[in-house]
Amino acid sequence: MDGFEKQGLNDDDFGAKGSIVSAFDAFPKSKPQYVTKTSGGGKWTVAMLVISSIFLWTELGRWWRGTEAHTFAVEKGIGHDMQVNLDIVVKMNCGDLHVNVQDASGDRILAADKMAREPTTWSQWVDAKGIHMLGKNEKGKLDTGAGWHDEGFGEEHVHDIIALSRQRARWAKTPTPKGRPDSCRMFGSLDLNKVQGDFHITARGHGYSAPGQHLEHDKFNFSHIISEMSYGPFYPSLVNPLDRTVNPAIVHFHKFQYYLSVVPTVYLAGSRFVNTNQYAVTEQSKTISDNQVPGIFFKYDIEPILLSVEESRDGFFTFLVKIVNIFSGVMVAGHWGFTLSDWVREIIGKRRRSNGGVGVLGNKHGFDE
């Protein structure tokens, strides 16, 4: 103890002071005069908090979205019927158009008799640049009243698709024509055979023999706007590849051909699911001679496979374990980073003092002469 006192040290400086709670503190704190404060420690603390917040937000978003698994399988059972939904505007009078379906089984369906047809004006559906403009909300975004949503062209997740599919299925109202109607809107759903087929729109008296119904060639104009083209149950809120398509005809004898490959699809999220169809499409439009049939042709084929898209999400306890691991990893990495940076700073400081400092007797070069 004599050596302890000779060094000028006092037991009271190392003892706990204050309330009785601090006296029994299992982890007594050092005195402020024995603690070295550095700006580097604060910077590392702030960096650790920022990095932890970024990782936490990323992990929270990943957990909320879940993970999606895509599996393909041969479709089980025998399919018989399939519904097709079409909403199209053609720049011709309704009485001058024929709509028919011819499938691989040989059946011919007079689709025009089963679809609603209403006169309209072309200018109410496209703007001066030829862009689909039916209905705009207060933000200037496209809103046909049939459930269009702003994220239509972005990537959707399974839970979003299932939520959208539960919205009310209804067709948008045809705007009141401004001036003399010059176009025809045809919309509705048809029940077709689940086989390869051809859905086509032609002019009256062309494509099918119909006595006394020949339409003059100068009235041909198959410019069209597709607002809905889907297969399966009608979910107007789900956007398909041909939705919002605007395709103008250059000449009277113009032929538009769309080749569609339809894939039955089921979306699964927990106990909820949606049965629908997706399709890929390629398009070819060209000018034809006057001895060919102009029009709009949808050639579709049904793939014999089933695509299953299932969304899963980790349990909340698993999510908490991942969060704890993230914070622990950031703290360990931050501690090592602070230790290494402090060691490097100390080494650099020693070198500067040894190179530029003043010796005990005189300058760094030795004694003064």
Tens-binned pLDDT, residue by residue, of the chain (369 aa): 555 455 555 555 555 555 555 555 555 666 665 566 666 667 777 888 888 888 888 888 777 777 778 888 887 777 778 899 999 999 999 988 888 888 887 777 777 678 899 999 998 887 666 665 544 444 444 444 443 334 433 446 777 787 777 777 788 888 888 889 999 999 999 888 888 989 889 988 776 655 556 788 888 999 999 989 999 888 887 888 888 888 889 899 999 999 999 999 988 887 788 888 989 999 888 898 888 889 999 999 998 888 888 887 777 788 888 888 888 888 888 888 878 887 877 787 777 777 655 544 545 555 454
Nearest to 76 by CA among 345, 204, 316, 266: 266
Which residues contact residue 27 at a Cβ distance below 8 angstroms, ignoring those fewer than 6 apart? none
Give the whole-angstrom CA distance, residue 353 versus residue 362.
15
H or E element in which residue 81 lies = strand 81-90
Whether 194 and 212 share a structural domain? yes
Given a contact cutoff of 8 angstroms between Cβ atoms, the answer to whether 298 and 285 are in contact is: no
CATH number at residue 304: 2.60.470
H or E element in which residue 117 lies = strand 116-120
Give the whole-angstrom CA distance, residue 234 versus residue 115.
14
Give pLDDT, residue 313: 74
Given a contact cutoff of 8 angstroms between Cβ atoms, the answer to whether 208 and 191 are in contact is: no
Whether 290 and 323 share a structural domain? no
Whether 124 and 254 share a structural domain? yes
Give the whole-angstrom CA distance, residue 357 versus residue 344.
19
Whether 81 and 217 share a structural domain? yes
Whether 177 and 55 share a structural domain? no
Give the whole-angstrom CA distance, residue 158 versus residue 265.
12
Whether 121 and 53 share a structural domain? no
The residues that bridge with 306 in the sheet, in sequence order, are 73
Is 123 domain-assigned? yes
Whether 303 and 319 share a structural domain? no
Do the bridges between strand 254-269 and strand 305-312 make them parallel or antiparallel, or are there none, so unpaired?
A: parallel
Which of 271, 292, 312 marks a domain boundary? 312
Whether 174 and 302 share a structural domain? yes
Give pLDDT, residue 215: 80
Q: CA 157 → CA 117, 142, 278, distances in Å?
A: 35, 21, 14
Is 290 domain-assigned? yes
Domain that holds residue 186: 69-135+156-312
Q: How many structural domains are present in the chain?
A: 2
Whether 95 and 181 share a structural domain? yes
Is 87 domain-assigned? yes
Whether 179 and 243 share a structural domain? yes
Whether 186 and 89 share a structural domain? yes
Q: What are phi and psi of 279, to 5 degrees?
A: -150, 150
Is 16 domain-assigned? no
